A and B are shown apart, each in its own frame.
Chain A
Amino acid sequence: MADPFSQWKHRTIHDLRRLRNEPILAVAVAAIFGLLLLFIVYPLIRVFAVSFIPDGAPTLRLYREFLGGWFIRQALLNSVVMGVLTAVGGTLIGFLFAFALTRTDIPGKPLLTAAAILPIISPPFVSALSIILLFGNNGLITRQLLGFQEFAIYGLRGLLLSQVFTFFPVAYLTLRGVLESLGGTLEDAAMNLGATRWKAFWRVTLPLCLPGIASALLVLFIESIADFGNPLILGGSGFPVLSVQVYLQVTGMYDLPGGAALAVILLVPSVTAFLVQRYWVARKRYVTVTGKPTRAVLKVVSPATQWVLFAACTAVALFVLLFYATILVGAFSKAWGVDHSPTLRNFGYVFGVGAQAITDTLVIAVTSSPLAGLLGMGIAFLVMRRRFPGREAMEFISILNFAVPGTVIGIGYILAFNQKPLLLTGTALILIANFLFRYIPVGIQSGTAVLRQIDPAIEEAATNLGATTQTTFRRITLPLLVPAFFSGLVFSFVRAMTAISAAIFLVSADWNLMTVQILSQTEAGRLGAAAAFSVLLILIIMAAIGLIRLILGRIFDYRYQATFG
């Protein structure tokens, strides 16, 4: 038995030889590696460098200072607590929806599905305002409906409310995919063999879902501790969290090295969760798609339980509805929250002052998201179906940015791309590159998930039947990848329209974004205008998703269940 290193060496040499015979593959691999190193690794290295070498000589001074003080330790602890609770709450609600929508015959499924994915589009800052209007001291629900005199919205409670609301769709999408691919046949089998419904659920459905649940928990944990919009407004000063401290260290104390050091500290829990997700949970999938029929005959849910699930889902859906209605009302009101006489003034303002930002945002989102979709799909295909040296490294680097908070990426980008020959600051390119490389992970994840589930035998069969490699790719692999392409595309589009933490460092006089406008309007006290911008943002995203589905459906005769996120 050879030792691992010589095994690895042998394999690498073998792969390199193969690569020599496939020049196109070699060029593609080299190009993608070049891009990933330039736009993901290099900016991160710049951030690390600034934090370890703040004044010209290498030192751990910043880390010692931060980890020695109570404040940052408290913030780190808070981040982890918040991450865990959000992950648990979000996964619970996500599972509730996924289970109810795949395993029962409850009415109103299309509406509930919409409610379960809509919160992915929550415009920054205005969402938090909407939460305050619903649940604050003077909130519609807390005060008018429930009659609380004081309801402390700032702190862990308010934060959890808004984070669970924002992130449960991610868990829902993951778990829905898992439950769908499981099919109901195994539950049928269990019940045919005499198991009760409960037993079938506890002993069959749930254990089979566990890898999916663990994966959702970890993804939500990462999203939660990297999130910065919600805690910035709702965390308040009583509940400091690390992601906000990173931002504040840079923007409040003007301390770039300190912010970078805090970012590196924040990377520890987040990358740990990420590694656990990648190399432990992701390995434990039980499911494969074989092409055999999986339609269930029996139902694992009794009618009574079904109605309980329906009631729970409807309650959450109503909350989602209320949330968006609040923003809508704000956009058409004279004074949001106080004087709701209807007016179009806010929209007049948006199309006047904000017209440039609207077109800029659209141009950037429309450019970056197809590129993110294509690149994500390409990387997923290469990683899963081709052999070349550095395959694991490519996959790891390309999804690494998912675990890095936006503020860090934003600062890394200006540090990395403000000098010739890499002068990108002030152009649209820097924004496009940022969105492109930050949001490919979703496309890659869903791409690899799809390919992992599809037996290569299907492709081999096509080849055996006489199809060329290209035909196989075009007629078999590509159409199978379309759903992954779709989710990568939609996700990066949504984020390009709504993200702000990295973009705020990259916008320029020529290229501005709607989210930055929303920030500026809320800062200046024009709440109606901020709400109007948000409504417009939501409408554009919904129209775009519809359009993308239509186009992909036309091209690929694509009838998969839409997944996005």
Chain B
Amino acid sequence: MRARLLLCGFLMCLLAWPAVSWGQDAVVVYSSVDEENAKKLLDAFTKATNIKVRFTFLSSGPAVARIEAEKNNPQADLWFGAPSENHVALKEKGLSQAYVSPNAKELAAKFKDPDGYWTSFYMNPLGFASNLTVLKQKSAEPPTSWADLLKPEFKSQIQIPSPQTSGTGYNMVAALVLIMGEEKAFDYLKKLNPNVQTYTQSGTAPSKAAAIGQAGVGIQFTPAFLQLMGEGYPLKVTFPKEGVGFEAPAISILKGAPRVELAKKLLDWFITIPGQNALTDAKTFFFPVHPKAKLMEGLPAFDQIPTINYDAVWAGKEKKRLVDRWINEVLRAQK
């Protein structure tokens, strides 16, 4: 009898739970910015505006899958972070809504959708991270160009995210196509195959492999490199002189967002100067997109990095074709 009572109580608690989450007026965010940085940035927003935020970390793929599956009844108001080409895809799937923030006029054209479906709020260049201990054993110098990566001393020493699975990997392929032209870029990638230890599934795996000495060189966006260097790993970051792409993570307001006014305020704030300075104050290693925002100490000035004029909209449109070509020509030729 007592057991039955306990069970009943238990089930009652179960039913009561969802009720706890109702009735709070907080903007709900799917964040592809990692947990800690997202928390710091969104806390800064709450402090400045008194608007409460509740967020869930989802890397970019699961985030889009979630938003798509929930489209008939959106749970979240906006998607925070993930490079802009993902937001292009979101726009094309009809899952986001247009909003041109009055503050967006300060931003360069490459940082916003012409129709206002997404707005970038920070950026990161792609870079090489070399493990100095490993390279010393191989008597190799940290690479400073794409051509350097073809050197025989890097045989099976380079980790690159797979463009099939990671936005970072695709960013690299698309940038190479822009720099070299498509045929030469694919020739280059095929020649690079013997030096590639593995194409990782996650966009941030190369930095970890380089940090622990599994790989000599990892290629990805720089914040995780800088984070790992801060933790004490023997890495050195270099940029290829022919040029690199960059990511410009963005904010999209979701179609049917239940709290659209709050979502707009969040977007507005993150592209103001105080919002942009929060990137630096929170030690995120992210570069601000507002030309007048302050830059974190130790970060190279963005114009010192040979970034190309990366076109996220073009890259988004070409993605399926280029990735298929990569699978059929580059991946298939591997080993």
Report which A residues bind B (CB closer than 8 A): 70-71, 129, 132-133, 136-138, 150, 152-155, 232-233, 235-238, 244, 247-248, 250-254, 256, 259, 334-339, 353, 367, 411, 414-415, 418-420, 423, 425-429, 432, 504-505, 507-510, 512, 516-517, 519-528
- Contact partner, A425, options B58, B70, B201, B323, Cβ 8 Å: B70
A418 CB to closest chain B CB, in angstroms? 5
Contact B212 A334 (CB under 8 A): no
Q: Are B75 and A251 in contact (CB under 8 A)?
A: no
User: A154–B198 contact, CB under 8 A?
Assistant: yes
The docked-state distance in angstroms from the alpha carbon of A397 to that of B72 is 29
Interface of B toward A, CB cutoff 8 Å: 10, 14, 17-18, 20-21, 28-29, 34-37, 39, 54-62, 64-66, 68-70, 72-73, 75-76, 89, 93, 134, 156, 162, 164-166, 197-202, 204-205, 207-209, 211-215, 224-225, 227-228, 231-234, 320, 323, 327-328, 331-332, 334-335
Expressed in whole angstroms, the minimum distance between the Cβ of A481 and any Cβ of chain B is 15
> B65's contact among A254, A420, A525, by CB below 8 Å, is which?
A254
A509 vs B70: C-alpha distance when bound (angstroms) = 15
Asked whether A237 lies within 8 Å of B234 as measured between CB atoms, the reply is no
Instruction: Check B69 against A509 for contact (C-beta < 8 Å).
Output: no
Please state if A527 and B36 are interface contacts (CB–CB under 8 Å): no
Given A248-B164, A338-B233, A427-B18, A256-B68 contact (CB < 8 Å)? yes
Q: In the complex, A426→B29 CA distance in Å?
A: 12
Given the contacts A254-B68, A254-B89, A427-B18, A504 and B213 also touching, CB distance less than 8 Å: no
Note all chain A residues with C-beta closer than 8 A to B75: 418, 425-426, 508
Selected contact of A237 from candidates B37, B198, B231, B328, CB within 8 Å: B198
A-B contact pairs, 25 of them (CB 8 A): A133-B212, A137-B197, A236-B198, A236-B199, A236-B201, A237-B164, A237-B331, A244-B201, A247-B61, A251-B65, A252-B61, A254-B61, A256-B68, A414-B70, A423-B73, A429-B14, A504-B58, A505-B62, A509-B76, A521-B34, A522-B204, A524-B37, A525-B204, A525-B224, A525-B228
Residues of A within 8 A of B18 (CB): 427-429
Among B14, B21, B59, the residue within 8 A (CB) of A523 is B59
User: Are B211 and A525 touching (Cβ within 8 A)?
Assistant: yes
Q: Do B68 and A525 have beta carbons less than 8 Å apart? A: no
A460 → chain B, closest Cβ, in Å? Answer: 26
A448 to B285, CA, bound (A): 56
A186 to B224, CA, bound (A): 62
- Give the CA-CA distance A527 to B320 in the complex, in Å: 33
- The distance in angstroms between the C-alpha atoms of A259 and B69, with both chains bound, is 13
A379 to chain B, nearest CB (A): 16
Whether A523 pairs with B202 at a CB distance below 8 angstroms is: yes
CA distance in complex: A153, B299 (Å): 34
The interface residues of chain A lying within 8 Å CB-to-CB of B232 are 334-335, 338-339
Closest CB-CB distance, B11 to chain A, in whole Å?
9
Q: Shortest beta-carbon distance, B213 to chain A, in Å?
A: 3
A423, closest chain B residue (CB): B73
Q: Nearest-CB distance from B140 to chain A (Å)?
A: 14
**A526 to B37 Cα, complex, angstroms:** 12
The CA of A132 and the CA of B10, in the complex, are separated in Å by: 43
Question: In the bound complex, do residue A338 and residue B212 qualify as a contact, i.e. CB atoms below 8 Å apart?
Answer: yes
Nearest to A345 among chain B residues (CB) is B231
Instruction: List the B side residues contacting A252 at CB < 8 Å.
Output: 61, 164-166
In the bound assembly, the distance between CA atoms of A389 and B36 in angstroms comes to: 54
Residue of A nearest to B26 (CB): A509
Contact partner, B205, options A233, A337, A505, Cβ 8 Å: A233
List, in ascending order, chain B residues with CB within 8 A of A426's CB: 21, 75
> What residues on B are CB-neighbors of A136 within 8 Å?
212-214
Measured between beta carbons, the chain A residues less than 8 angstroms from B335 are 238
Judging by beta carbons under 8 Å apart, are B227 and A250 in contact? Answer: no
Q: Considering only CB atoms, which chain A residue lies closest to B199 in the complex?
A: A237
Which of A339, A519, A528 is the most central at the interface, judged by chain B CB atoms within 10 Å of its CB? A519
- With the chains together, A426 CA to B20 CA distance in Å? 12
Chain B residue nearest to A235 (CB atoms) is: B201
Give the CA-CA distance A235 to B162 in the complex, in Å: 12
B43 to chain A, nearest CB (A): 11
A414 CB contact (under 8 Å) in B69, B134, B165, B233: B69
**Bound Cα distance from A256 to B60, whole angstroms:** 14
- Interfacial chain A residues near B164, Cβ < 8 Å: 237, 248, 252-253
Min CB–CB distance B168 → chain A (angstroms): 11
Min CB distance, B225 to chain A, in Å? 8
CB closest residue in chain A, given B215: A137
List of 10 A-B pairs having minimum Cβ-Cβ separation, nearest first: A251-B61, A138-B213, A237-B199, A236-B198, A509-B54, A524-B34, A337-B212, A525-B224, A335-B232, A414-B69
Cβ-closest chain A residue relative to B162 = A237
Contacts of A248 in B (CB 8 A): 61, 164-165, 201
* Contact partners of A132 in chain B: CB under 8 A: 209, 212, 214
* A522-B208, A524-B36 known; A505 vs B65 contact (CB < 8 Å): yes
Query: Known contacts being A517-B35, A523-B34, is A411 close to B65, with CB within 8 Å?
Result: yes
Q: Is B73 within 8 A of A336, CB to CB?
A: no
* Chain A residues positioned under 8 Å from B212 (CB to CB): 129, 132-133, 136, 138, 336-338, 527
Given contacts A248-B201, A510-B21, A526-B36, contact A237 B334 (CB under 8 A): yes
Q: B97 → chain A, closest Cβ, in Å?
A: 18
A428 neighbours in B (Cβ, 8 Å): 17-18
Which of chain A's residues have a CB closer than 8 A to the CB of B21?
426-427, 510
Q: Name the one of A137, A235, A238, A254 contacting B214, with C-beta atoms under 8 angstroms.
A: A137
What residues of chain B lie closer than 8 Å to A254, measured between beta carbons? 61, 64-65, 68, 89, 93
Which residues of B lie under 8 Å from residue A429 when comparing CB positions? 14, 17-18
- In the bound assembly, the distance between CA atoms of A521 and B202 in angstroms comes to 13
With both beta carbons as reference points, the residue of chain B lying nearest to A425 in the complex is identified as: B75
